[in-house]
């Protein structure tokens, strides 16, 4: 896969496809006060793997979508895993998945969330959407994965 990086003080938006597999390496130490109208307040990824370790997401928000901190939508078969280790999400807000939203239909990749902290995040959608989407801190729909906190 092609390696892409999220670095500096910019919102990160990266997409891959069947002909261009992508793995995203996030090297920024923190995302603070990132706000976006659509999905993914700080990070919006489509059809990618991702490696993210030891990063803080503070007061990040998605005003009309999911994933105040991170939004991932993988709707093709990809082999690169989604790995989150030692992340902290504080006071993030979105309609659903206030800190993290992950959807991965692939049978070839794994979602791994380990030793992450979620504090005071808020799903701001109306009650009916919360009942449909669930996940005030994190929303995951994946074929393979593990959460160890």
Sheet holding 145-148, edge to edge: 2-6, 22-26, 49-53, 82-85, 111-114, 145-148
pLDDT of residue 136: 72
CB atoms within 10 A of CB 86: 13
Contact call for residues 141 and 102 (beta carbons, < 8 A): yes
Predicted confidence pLDDT, tens digits, the chain (149 residues): 788 888 777 899 999 998 988 999 998 889 999 999 999 999 999 999 999 999 999 999 999 999 999 999 999 999 999 999 999 999 999 998 999 999 999 999 999 999 999 999 998 875 555 455 556 788 888 888 877 77
Q: What pLDDT does residue 134 have?
A: 55
- Are 104 and 74 contacting, i.e. CB atoms less than 8 angstroms apart? yes
């Amino acid at each position: 896969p092609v390696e892409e990086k999220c670095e500096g003080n910019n919102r990160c938006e990266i997409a891959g496809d069947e002909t261009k597999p992508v793995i995203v390496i996030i090297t920024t130490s923190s995302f603070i006060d990132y706000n976006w109208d659509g999905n993914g307040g700080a990070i919006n990824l489509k059809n990618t793997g991702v490696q993210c370790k030891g990063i803080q997401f503070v007061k990040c928000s998605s005003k009309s979508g999911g994933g105040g901190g991170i939004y991932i939508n993988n709707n093709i078969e990809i082999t690169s895993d989604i790995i989150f280790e030692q992340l902290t999400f504080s006071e993030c807000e979105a309609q659903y998945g206030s800190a993290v939203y992950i959807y991965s239909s692939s049978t070839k990749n794994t979602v791994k969330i380990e030793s992450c902290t979620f504090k005071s995040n808020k799903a701001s959608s109306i009650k009916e959407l919360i009942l449909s989407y669930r996940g005030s801190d994190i929303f995951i729909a994946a074929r393979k994965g593990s959460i160890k906190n």
